[in-house]
Structure 1
């Protein structure tokens, strides 16, 4: 792949993500949520890039919003890359949830 094609691919890609929040609240109210989505396109940052993850959690009797920037690209041995996030959801029903997630590789079949 030429450098120009690789640069275009780097700029014009996104990642899927899927995860679960950590537990919040106590007693019978103790629970977590699941979430999934597709990131924004790559946002250049120095010699790397990041993405924005924006989604909502699944609903029990409430939902939480997630809107965070990923870390910069972490390159794997095969030339693909992932991004990591450690953050918290929005507050809803009097609480928020911490979560950690790694994006999936972009275009895994290409």
Structure 2
């Protein structure tokens, strides 16, 4: 099970990330683009994810992933149940979501700076 603190730890070290509280949701943004959001009750985390791959992700583990609310279906977005994810599983989802929000050059520079490179 992950908590808001786990999401913060995965997100706030990423370049250009800012944390905001918007309508009781804790949102992680790059500029105006939200790439991750934690519900007020900390049961659900929404994150950027390609629309065309959303159905296959949910089908791969429906206990973990779910569709976003109807008003968010037009966006590259999916939800996960925070109780079904371990802290070790979280980081790749957050980094991949962040990569969708930053300029390609920023993402590539970050990935190259990791031990072992991209």
Q: Does TM, normalized by the shorter one, top 0.5?
A: no
Instruction: Name the structure with the higher strand share.
Output: 1
Instruction: Name the structure with the higher helix share.
Output: 2
Bigger Rg, structure 1 or 2: 1
State the structure with bigger RCO (CA 8 A, min sep 6), 1 or 2. 2
TM range (shorter): under 0.3
